Structure 1
C-alpha cells in the first residue's frame, strides 16, 4: 500500500472523484441491498458470459468449456469445437461475445490462453460460427494473438467488446513482464482495435508503423480486465494495479497510460513506482483504488429495470468480494456504492430485460440475477 503522503499527493492531483474512490468505501450489506439476488445456475470457474437473442446465455469456464445455458430451467450443456486452451494460473478460456450481426451470421468471438513453444503462452482470439441446436462451433479461425508469447501464467487481459464503430476491441495484458507495455514491437499491455476479421483498420493511431504496432489503440496498461462503451461512444477500461492503484481509465486514441513508468500503486515487495502526477505526459486514471478491489468485468448500464442507474458503470470485485457501482459524469467518474456480495465477483453483465447478472469466481461459482427490491 502507498505511504499516506504519496497517496494524498496523487489523489489530490487526480481530482475529487479519485479522492472519494481511493478511500475505503464501506460496503453495503445484504440486508440493505436495493436489489434481490437470485441464483440461476452454478459453474466451475466461470469467467465470462453473454446473452443470445433468444434470452439464453453462453458462459465460459476457465478449463475450456463453453456452456449454453437455458435460463428457464437453469440447465446448461457443452458447446463442442472450442479451441484447446492453456489452463493454469490466470490462463484458460476467457471472454465470449457476439458479432453485431449475430442474428444473420451466427458468429461469436472467444478469447483464451494458447500454448506456444517451450512452455511459453499468450492470449488468442478466435471467431467461429455457433450452431446452438447442434451444440457446436464450426469455421473456427484464430484472428489475433498476443505477440510475443512469453513464460508465466498471469495478466492475459483478453476482454473483448464490439464498439459502436463496428470494430473489435481487445484488452491485452502485459503478462507480468512490465516493459512490453511501453514497447511498440509487442502488443502486450495495450488496447487493440481490429476489423471483425482481425485485419487492421486504416485509421488506427499507429497504422503507418505496420506490424503489431498498427493494432494498437492505447498503451501503458498492466492487466486490463474490463472494457465497455458508454452511450456517447466513449471507451472505458479498468485494470488491476500492482500493490495498490487499481484503475478506471477513459481511453483516448493513441494515449499512453504510463505503466510501468508510473502507477498509483507500488511493486509487490514495496519498491516504489512514481505516481501519475510526477509524469504529466502519461494519462492519469479517472478513479484509483487503494486498498485494491481487484476489478473483474465491466459494464455500463443502459437498461430500464434500474432507471436511477442508467449510465452507471458496474465493476466486479475479486478481492473486494463485491459489486462496485460508479457514476460517470461526462469524462469524469467516482465510486457511488459498493455492495458486499460475500464472494469474489468475476463477471457482470446486463440482461435483455435490464436485470443485472453477476458470476461468482471459483469452483462452484453461482450465476446471480439482480432485480430491484
Structure 2
C-alpha cells in the first residue's frame, strides 16, 4: 500500500514508501531474520516477529524486566553475524534498580527455533551509575568486523557534566566482547580513573549508529536546541559535550562558556542547527538506488523525514532531505537483505515502511 510518491532531489530518484506492517506501538528498531521475516522492538517493552506479509506476531517471551517510561524501554536489537548458525541476538533496554533508578543495559539471547521465546538470556553490560532519569539512554548496538560490539550510551540529560568523566559510563560509547568482557586493546585499559569499557566520550544522546562500507564506525547524536551531530568516533577521543556544542539551552541561553571549539575535543563531521532530532542511521550498499551507493541515510524525529548524506572520506559534503512529506517521526532506518531501505515510524500506531524506487 503506497503512501504516495515522494521525490528524492538528486539523481532524480522517486522514492515511494510502501507499508509493510502497521499497528506497532512506538517501534524502535528492526532486524531482518533469514527467513524473510522481521524482528521489531516496541519501546513499551515488547519484541515481535513480523511476517513478510506484515502480520504482527504475539510478543516474544523471555525478555528481562524493562523500565519503560519516557524515552526508556526496549530499544535496539541486532542479530549476531552468525545468527543463521547460532540464533544469537543482542538487545539493549532501560534496566531498573530497586531504588527507582535506571540505566542502559545490553543483553544477548538465543531466539527459539519457533521464534516464540528468547532463551539463555544474559546481561552483558549495565551502564553505571544508575540514575533517576527517563531521558537520553542512547542504546544503539553495532557489531564491528573484528567481532566486538559497540554500544552508545547517553548522559541521561540531567547529568551532562558526567560525559567528560571517565570514571563512569554516562555519555560514552563502550566496546565489549560478545561475552561482555573488555577487549584489552580498548583505549583506557590499565588507565587509573577510567572505565576500561570506554571507547569514546563526550557524547550527549547518541541514537543512531552504523558501519560504513569500509568498516568504519559512524554515529549521530542529539544536540540540545540545535547542534545535532554526525561523528565518526575513534578510540580514546573526546567529542566535547557539554564543553563544546553548536546548540543552546532549551528556551535560549548558552551552554557552559557557549563555545564550539576547544583543543583536545573533536569537531562533528556535520551538525544541524536547528535540530532535526536525529535517529537511526544506515549506509546504502545495494544497487537498488542508482547513484546513491555508499551514501548514508539518517532518520529525523522532529523533522519527520530522512536525510541523505554524501560523504567524501570522513567529510560530509552534501545533505539532502528525503520523504519530506511523510508526516511521521522516523525512528529507525536499515538496509534489508533485499537491498531496500526499511523505516520505522515512531507513534502509537507505528509503521514499518519499505522504500521503493519507480
> Per the shorter chain, which TM-score range?
over 0.9
Relative to structure 1, the CA distance from residue 180 to residue 321 in structure 2 (aligned partners, 3 Å threshold; closer, same or farther) is: same
In the superposition, the TM-score normalised over structure 1's length comes to 0.89
Q: Show the counterpart of 2:79.
A: 98
Q: Pick one of 288, 293, 296 that aligns with 1:310.
A: 293
Shift of 1:55: 1.6
Equivalent residues in 2 for 1:262-281, closer than 5 Å: 262-273=244-255, 274=257, 277-281=260-264
Relative to structure 1, the CA distance from residue 103 to residue 298 in structure 2 (aligned partners, 3 Å threshold; closer, same or farther) is: same
**Cα distance in 2, alignment partners of residues 211 and 66 from structure 1:** 38
Relative to structure 1, the CA distance from residue 134 to residue 351 in structure 2 (aligned partners, 3 Å threshold; closer, same or farther) is: closer
SS in structure 1 at match of 2:58 = strand
Shift of 1:207: 1.0
**Cα distance in 1, alignment partners of residues 100 and 348 from structure 2:** 25
Equivalent residues in 2 for 1:81-230, closer than 5 Å: 81-176=62-157, 177-209=159-191, 213-230=195-212
Shift of 1:275: 5.7
- Given that residues 187 and 212 in structure 1 are in contact (C-alpha distance below 8 angstroms), is that contact kept between their aligned partners in structure 2? no
Relative to structure 1, the CA distance from residue 78 to residue 297 in structure 2 (aligned partners, 3 Å threshold; closer, same or farther) is: same
**Cα distance in 2, alignment partners of residues 175 and 30 from structure 1:** 39
Give the stretch that moved more between structures: 41-50 or 261-270: 261-270
Q: Pick one of 17, 23, 35 that aligns with 1:37.
A: 17
Shift of 1:329: 1.0
SS in structure 2 at match of 1:307 = coil
In the alignment of these two chains, the number of paired residues is 345
Q: Show the counterpart of 2:352.
A: 367
The structure in which a higher percent of residues are helix is 1
Give the stretch that moved more between structures: 207-216 or 346-355: 207-216
SS in structure 2 at match of 1:337 = strand
Q: Pick one of 326, 331, 334 that aligns with 1:349.
A: 334
Shift of 1:134: 4.7
SS in structure 2 at match of 1:206 = coil
**Cα distance in 2, alignment partners of residues 194 and 286 from structure 1:** 25
Residue 327 (str. 1) matches residue 310 (str. 2):
yes
**Cα distance in 2, alignment partners of residues 60 and 92 from structure 1:** 9
SS in structure 1 at match of 2:190 = helix
Unmatched runs of 5 consecutive residues or more in structure 1:
1-28
Shift of 1:346: 0.5
- Given that residues 306 and 372 in structure 1 are in contact (C-alpha distance below 8 angstroms), is that contact kept between their aligned partners in structure 2? yes
Relative to structure 1, the CA distance from residue 38 to residue 143 in structure 2 (aligned partners, 3 Å threshold; closer, same or farther) is: same
